[in-house]
Amino acid sequence: MGRRSWVGAGLGAALVGAVGVGLLVAPAGASAAPPLPPVSPEDLVSSVMTAQRGPFAGEVEVDNALGLPAVPGVPQLADGTSTVRVWSGGEDRGRVAIPSPDGERTLVSDGTTRWAYDSRDRTATRAPAGDHGGPPEGQQQDPTAAATQAIATLRQTSTVAVDGTAEVAGRAVYQLVLTPQPTERTLLREVRVAVDAETRQPLQLTVLAQGQGEPALRVGFSEITYGPQDPSLFTFTPPPGTTVRDAPARDGEQRPEGDRPRSTVGDGWDTVVIGQAPQPGDGRPRDGQDGQDQRPEGAPDLSALGQPVSGPWGSGRVITTAVATVIVTDDGRIAAGAVPQQVLTEALAR
Amino acid sequence: MTTVSASAPPASRASTRSVAPLGRLAAAEIRWVLRRPRTLVLLGLLALVPIALGVGIALTGGPGDGDGPGLVAAVAGNGLVLPIAALGLALSLLLPLTVATAAADALAGEAAHGTLRGLLLAPVGRVRLVVMKAAGVLTVAVLAVLVVAVVGVLTGLVVVGGPSGTMITLSGTTLGLGEALGRVALVAGWTIVQLLAIAAVALAVSAFTEHPLVVLAAVLGGLIVFGVLAAVPSLEWLQPLLLTSGWTAGADALRDPLPLDGLASSTGRALVYVVLGAAVTVWQMRRRDG
Amino acid sequence: MTAAPSVAAPATAAAPDAVAARVRGLRKTFGATVAVDDVDLDVPAGAVLGMLGPNGSGKTTLIRMLLGLTRPTAGTVELLGHAGDDLTAALPDVGALVEGPGFHPFLSGRDNLLRAATAEPRLDGDLRGPVDAALERVGLADAARRRYRGYSLGMKQRLGLAAALLVPRRLVVLDEPTNGLDPAGTRDVRRVVAELRDAGATVLLSSHLLAEVEAVCTHVAVLQTGTLLVSGELRALLEADAGGLVVSTPDVDDAILALREAGAPSYRAEGGVAVPPGALEAPEIVAALVGAGVAVWEVHRRRAHLEELFARLTEEDA
C-alpha cells in the first residue's frame, strides 16, 4: 500500500473525528425563524387558554440557573440542565418520569388516581385525582401548565407582545414576551413563552432576570410528538415489594401553610407573599416532596440558609436567588417575591 | 490430534506468502491473551463483583434500605437488576482497568519484552499488527463484560432472587424474564462499546511507549481527569466531549419506556473515540521503531 | 521439512542477488549523537560476514536499519533485492536475533516459538514440526516445555537463535549471538553458522569477540564510532596486513647485524627477528644469516591475526 493512501486514510479518520465531535458539541434546536402569519398577543394568549390539549409525548429540558439550594431527590431543581419525560393521554391522564442518575420518580395519573413512585425507597403514594389544591409537582415541570399560569397572572401588569417566531423541539412557535411595566419593582426582566403555532400549546418558558444575559430558568420541550399514546402508560400497578401509602397529607387543605395565615402585599410582578415559616417541631418530612406548589424554598430547613439581616421590621435571614428573594424572620414569618430585598422588608414592615 | 496418519508427513509446508494469514495471527493473539495470568486474574476479579454485590445485598439489604452507590439500592429483592448494577459499578474502574491492561500488554508490553520486534521482523505488517492486537483487546473487553453480565444474572436469580423471574424497573413497571434479559444484553453491548473507546485510546498510548504502566496510568489518570472536568461547572461545555459523561446512560435500561437517547449518544461518542484511537494507533505503529 | 533448505539461494543467483544486503550512505542520528555515519557496505551472498566493533560502535543500529526496524536518517538499504518501502518483503527470508532474545516469561520455550511461528509467512499448516526441529537444532529440546521465566541466559539465547531458524532462511542476522553462552554454547553457535553457510545462506554476525569472528567468518567489517573502518574478505585483509618474515634464532643481535650488512633492515620481535617485506626474499635472508654464522631455527612468513588488524585499525583512528 502506498504511503499516499495512508495519508488519505489518516485524513479520513481526522475528518470522522472532527465531524463526530461537532455532532456531539452542537447545541440542539438552533434554527432560523420560520415564517408564520402574524398574530396579536391577545389572540395568542386566548388561543393558548382555550386550546384543546391532545395527547402527546415529549422530553422537557430544564435549564436551571436559579441558584436554588439543592433538594434531595429532585435534581431538576438544582442548577444545571436536566431532562424530564412527559406523556399526556389527555383527560387528566398523564405520566411524568423524573430521572436521576441512579433512580427515578414516576408520577402517573389515570384520571381517577394519581400515583407517585420513588424507585429509591420503592414507595408508591396514592392520591385521588382532582383533589389537589395546586398543580401536582410534576406538572410544574410541564410547560403547558406553567406557561398558562404565567400568562394568566402576569397579563395585567405587563407589556405583552409577540416577538417573532422561532423553532422549539422541531415545531414552529410564536414567541410571546411578557415584560414588566417600568413601575414594577421586580428582579425579572422578561418572561418568554414559546407557543406552538399549530396546537397553541406552550412549549417553552424562559425566565430572564435583571442584569443577566443567560436565562435564569428555561423549561421547555426538547422533543415532542403529538398523537395517541399507549394507554398502558397511564396506569400504574405497584410492583411487588412496594410500600403503598395513601397520601392524605399531600392535599393542599392540610398543608401547614394552609393552616397558617397567609397574605400578599402588592400585585403584579412585585407581589410579596407573607406567611408563617414551617416550625421545626412540625414533624413534617422535609424531603422535598411537600409544598412544591409553593416556592421550592419553602421545603428545606431554612434556618441554615441565607444571610442574616435586620431592620425596623425585625431580624432574620435573607435568601437571594437570581429571580426571587426570601426573608425568614426570627419570629417565624416568611416573605417571598420576585423582588429585590428592599421590597420584602417594606412589605414586612407594613 | 487427528493428523496421526502414519503415511503423511506432518502437514507443514513451505509457503510463498509474504505475510502470515490474519486469521491465524488473530487466533494466536487471542490464545496468548487468554493464557496470560493477569488476564485470568482480572476476569476472576470481575466475576467477584456481582457475587460480592449480590451476597452483600442478600445479607443486609431489603427494599428501601439501600443508599449504596449507583443502582445498588435497586437490586434488593430485584435480582435481575444485579447484572446491570454490577456492570455500572465495574465500568467505573475495574472494567477500564482490564481493557487498559490488555492494551498496555498488547503493544507497550510486547515492546518491553522484545517480542514486538519479532512480530515486526516476521513480518506481520504494521497495520495487520494493529488489527491483530485489536482483536486480542476486543476479546478481553467482550469476555470481561460477559463475565460480569452472566455471573450477575446467575447471582441475581440465585442469591438475590426477586419477584419470580421478573425485573422491576426504576419507573415502577414490571418486565418479564425475556425482556429483562434483553435489557441486560443491551447494557452489556453498550458497555462493550464504551470499553472499546477506552481500549482504542489505550492502544494509541500503548503504541507510543514501551512501559505498560504508562498506559495504565494514562487511562486511569484520564478517567480521573474526566471526572474532575465533569465536576467543574464552568467547564460544562466540555461535557459532550467527555467519554465518562455518558456513562449514567447505563441506568436508562432500567427505565420504562426505554429511553434510547442517552444510550445512543454515548455510543456515538464512544465510536468517535474508537475511530480516533485506532487512527492514532495505526499512524504511530507505522512510524514506530521496532 | 523436506523442502531442501534454501539450496536454491546464492550460487545460481543472478546479478542483483550476488549481494544479499547492501547499504549506501547510511546514516542515523539520535538528536546530536551520530550512531551510524555514512556507511557503505555490501554483504556478498553466501558470505559469513562478521561485523566487528567495540560496544557503542553502531553495529546494532546498522543491523536494525538493515532490517527496517529503525528508519535511517539518510541513505538506502537493499535487502535480498528489496529496497525502500518494499524492504519488508524480504523479511520472510531473513532470520534475525537482534538485541537479545525477546520472549514471554509466562509461556514455555516451545509455546513461545509456536506463537512466533504463527507470524512466519513461510510456514503453513502444522507449526509444531518446524518448532520442534528448531528446538532440536539449538539443543533446547529437553527444556522446551519449561517456562521461559526459568531459562538461563544461555538457554534464552538459544531460544532466540531457534526463532531465527524456524524457517529455512536466505539471510540470517545474528546480533551478538554468543552473549551469555558457555563454551559449549559458543561451539553450538559456530556449528549452526557453519551449517547455514553450507546450506548456502548468508550470515551476518555482529560481535565484539574477535576470535569468534575469525573462527567462522569469511568476510569482516569493522565499525568504530559509527564509521566503517574497513570491510572485505577476511583472508585478503589479513594477507594485506601480513608481510615480511620472522626468523627464529638464539643470536638476535648477530642476526640483526648480519641482515643490516646484507641490506635488509630488521628489528627485534617476539621469538626472534622480524624482517619487513621488500628488501630481500627468504632464500637470500637465510643465505645471509648462515653466511654470518647465525644459528637459524626457523624462518616463516609473518601471519597477521584479526586481533592485530583490529587493534591497528581502531588505534589508528583514535
* All structural domains of chain B with their residue ranges: 22-287
DSSP secondary structure of A187-227:
SEEEEEEEEETTT--EEEEEEEETT-SS-SEEEEEEEEEES
**DSSP code at position B269:** H
Q: Which of B17, B279, B13 is nearest to B122 (CA)?
A: B17
Q: Are residues A271 and A205 in the same domain?
A: no
Q: Are residues A214 and A269 in the same domain?
A: no
The domain of A185 spans 41-234
Grid coordinates belonging to B48? 467477584
Rg (CA), chain A: 23
Structure confidence at residue A49 (pLDDT): 72
**DSSP code at position B106:** I
Contact B10 C126 (CB under 8 A): yes
**DSSP code at position A260:** S
Per the CB < 8 A criterion, the answer to whether B202 and B100 are in contact is yes
Domain count, chain A: 2
Structure confidence at residue A4 (pLDDT): 56
From the CB of residue C126, how many other CB atoms can be counted at a distance below 10 Å? 17
Over residues A276-286, the pLDDT tens digits come to: 766 554 444 44
Grid coordinates belonging to A321? 436567588
Q: Are residues A185 and A140 in the same domain?
A: yes
Which residue type sits at A160? Answer: V
Over residues B8-54, the pLDDT tens digits come to: 334 445 567 788 889 999 999 999 999 999 999 999 999 999 999 99
Does residue A1 form part of some domain? no
Nearest to C125 among B13, B119, B123 (CB): B13
Residues A239, B163: Cα–Cα separation, whole Å? 9
Q: Domain holding A159: CATH number? A: 2.50.20.10
Q: Helices marked H in B36-121 — which ranges? A: 37-60, 72-75, 82-92, 94-103, 110-113, 115-121
Residues C116, C124: Cα–Cα separation, whole Å? 13
Angle among Cα A246, A247, A249 to the nearest 5 degrees reads 145
Q: Which of C256, C254, C279, C269 is nearest to C302 (CA)?
A: C269
pLDDT tens, N- to C-terminus, chain A (350 residues): 455 566 666 677 777 777 766 666 555 444 567 888 888 777 787 788 777 778 999 999 888 887 766 555 555 566 777 888 999 987 788 999 988 877 888 999 988 888 999 888 888 998 887 644 444 444 444 555 655 666 666 666 788 888 888 998 889 999 988 888 888 888 888 888 899 998 888 899 999 988 888 888 889 999 899 989 888 889 998 888 888 888 765 444 444 444 456 788 887 788 888 887 665 544 444 444 443 344 344 444 555 667 888 888 888 888 888 888 888 888 888 888 888 888 888 888 87
Contact A13 B278 (CB under 8 A): yes
Structure confidence at residue B62 (pLDDT): 53
Number of H helices, E strands in chain B: 11, 3
List C residues 75-94 in contact with B (Cβ-Cβ < 8 A).
88-89, 91-92, 94
Distance from CA of A167 to the nearest CA of B (A): 20
Does residue A11 form part of some domain? no
- Can you give the three-state secondary structure of chain C, one letter per residue? CCCCCCCCCCCCCCHHHHEEEEEEEEEEEECCEEEEEEEEEEEECCCEEEEECCCCCCHHHHHHHHCCCCCCCEEEEEECCEEHHHHHHHHHHEEEECCCCCCCCCCEHHHHHHHHHHCCCCEEECCHHHHHHHHHHCCCHHHCCCEHHHCCHHHHHHHHHHHHCCCCCCEEEEECCCCCCCHHHHHHHHHHHHHHHHCCCEEEEEECCHHHHHHHCCEEEEEECCEEEEEEEHHHHHHHHCCCEEEECCCHHHHHHHHHHCCCCCEEECCEEEECCCCCCHHHHHHHHHHCCCCCCEEEECCCCHHHHHHHHHHHHC
Grid coordinates belonging to C214? 575469525
Nearest to B113 among C96, C103, C124 (CB): C103
Residues of B in contact with A14 (CB under 8 A): 279
3-state secondary structure of B168: strand
pLDDT tens, N- to C-terminus, chain B (290 residues): 333 333 333 444 556 778 888 999 999 999 999 999 999 999 999 999 999 999 988 887 654 444 555 577 788 888 899 999 999 999 999 999 999 999 999 999 999 998 999 898 888 888 999 999 999 999 999 999 999 999 999 999 988 887 777 888 888 888 999 999 999 999 999 999 999 999 999 999 999 999 999 999 999 999 999 989 988 878 878 888 889 888 888 889 999 888 988 899 999 999 999 999 999 999 999 888 87
Q: Are residues A290 and A189 in the same domain?
A: no
Q: Are residues A116 and A189 in the same domain?
A: yes
Residues of C in contact with B28 (CB under 8 A): 114-115, 118-119
DSSP secondary structure of A277-332:
PPPGGG----SS-SSTTS-GGGSS-GGGSSEEEEETTEEEEEEE-SS-EEEEETTS
Residues A98, A289: Cα–Cα separation, whole Å? 13
With a cut of 50, say whether residue C32 has pLDDT above it.
Answer: yes
Interface test with B, best of C29, C110, C113, C120 (most B CBs within 10 A): C120
**DSSP code at position A129:** T
- What would the mean pLDDT of C173-188 be, rounded to a whole number? 87
The neighbouring-strand residues paired with A218 are A63, A206
Does residue A18 form part of some domain? no
Q: Are residues A75 and A224 in the same domain?
A: yes
Structure confidence at residue C53 (pLDDT): 86
Q: Give ranges for CATH 3.40.50.300 in chain C.
A: 15-239
Q: Are residues A49 and A113 in the same domain?
A: yes
List residues in chain A touching B: CB distance below 8 A: 1, 6, 9-10, 13-14, 16-17, 20-21, 23-25, 59, 79-80, 85, 97, 99, 101-104, 106, 108, 115, 117, 119-124, 230, 233, 236-243
Structure confidence at residue B65 (pLDDT): 47
Q: Domain C243-302 - what CATH class?
A: alpha beta
Instruction: List chains adjacent to chain C, taking adjacency as at least 3 C-beta pairs closer than 8 Å.
Output: B
With a cut of 50, say whether residue C16 has pLDDT above it.
Answer: no
Contact C121 B37 (CB under 8 A): no
Residues A274, A294: Cα–Cα separation, whole Å? 12
Residues A22, A16: Cα–Cα separation, whole Å? 10
Q: Are residues A106 and A196 in the same domain?
A: yes
List C residues 153-192 in contact with B (Cβ-Cβ < 8 A).
163, 167-168
Contact B237 A6 (CB under 8 A): no
The total number of residues written for chain C in this structure: 318
Contact A242 B275 (CB under 8 A): no
The neighbouring-strand residues paired with A190 are A208
From the CB of residue C100, how many other CB atoms can be counted at a distance below 10 Å? 15
**DSSP code at position A132:** -
Distance from CA of B36 to the nearest CA of A (A): 32
| ipTM exceeding cut-off 0.90 for this assembly | no
Residues C160, C103: Cα–Cα separation, whole Å? 8
More confident residue, B182 or C279: B182
Grid coordinates belonging to A57? 409525548
Residues C193, C47: Cα–Cα separation, whole Å? 11
DSSP secondary structure of A154-180:
HSTTEEEEEEEEEEETTEEEEEEEEEE
B111 part of contact set with chain C, CB < 8 Å: no
Nearest to C91 among B36, B116, B122 (CB): B122
DSSP-derived pairing of the beta strands C245-248 and C272-275: antiparallel
Structure confidence at residue A330 (pLDDT): 83
From the CB of residue A47, how many other CB atoms can be counted at a distance below 10 Å? 15
3-state secondary structure of A121: coil
Per the CB < 8 A criterion, the answer to whether B104 and B212 are in contact is yes
Q: Are residues A260 and A123 in the same domain?
A: no
Per the CB < 8 A criterion, the answer to whether C255 and C272 are in contact is yes
Of all residues in chain C, the one with the smallest CA distance to B16 is: C122
Whether omega before C265 lies within 30 degrees of 0, making that bond cis, reads no
Does residue A314 form part of some domain? yes
Grid coordinates belonging to C82? 528489496
Contact B124 C123 (CB under 8 A): no
Q: Are residues A216 and A262 in the same domain?
A: no
Residues B111, A67: Cα–Cα separation, whole Å? 53
Q: Give ranges for CATH 3.30.70 in chain C.
A: 243-302
With a cut of 70, say whether residue C137 has pLDDT above it.
Answer: yes
User: In the CATH scheme, what is the code of domain C15-239?
Assistant: 3.40.50.300
Nearest to A17 among B67, B74, B276 (CB): B276
Residues C22, C35: Cα–Cα separation, whole Å? 18
Element (H, E) at A94: strand A93-100
Distance from CA of A80 to the nearest CA of B (A): 8
List B residues 121-180 in contact with C (Cβ-Cβ < 8 A).
121-125
Which residue type sits at A7? Answer: V
Structure confidence at residue A290 (pLDDT): 42
Structure confidence at residue B87 (pLDDT): 94
More confident residue, B67 or C80: C80
Nearest to B163 among A79, A119, A241 (CB): A241
Distance from CA of B124 to the nearest CA of A (A): 14
Per the CB < 8 A criterion, the answer to whether B78 and B53 are in contact is no
Structure confidence at residue A129 (pLDDT): 74
The neighbouring-strand residues paired with A124 are A117, A244
Over residues C229-266, the pLDDT tens digits come to: 888 888 888 777 666 788 888 888 888 888 888 888 88
Q: Are residues A212 and A345 in the same domain?
A: no
Does residue A187 form part of some domain? yes
B9 part of contact set with chain C, CB < 8 Å: yes
List C residues 100-129 in contact with B (Cβ-Cβ < 8 A).
100-107, 111, 114-116, 118-129
Residues C133, C110: Cα–Cα separation, whole Å? 11
Residues of C in contact with B12 (CB under 8 A): 1, 123-130
With a cut of 60, say whether residue C43 has pLDDT above it.
Answer: yes
DSSP-derived pairing of the beta strands C33-44 and C82-83: unpaired
Burial (Cβ within 10 Å: 0-12, 13-18, ≥19) of residue B60: exposed
Categorise residue A164: left if φ over 0, alpha if ψ from -120 to 50, beta otherwise.
left
Structure confidence at residue A31 (pLDDT): 57
Rg (CA), chain B: 22
Q: What is chain C's mean pLDDT, rounded?
A: 84
Contact A16 B275 (CB under 8 A): yes
Interface test with B, best of C6, C85, C87, C88 (most B CBs within 10 A): C88
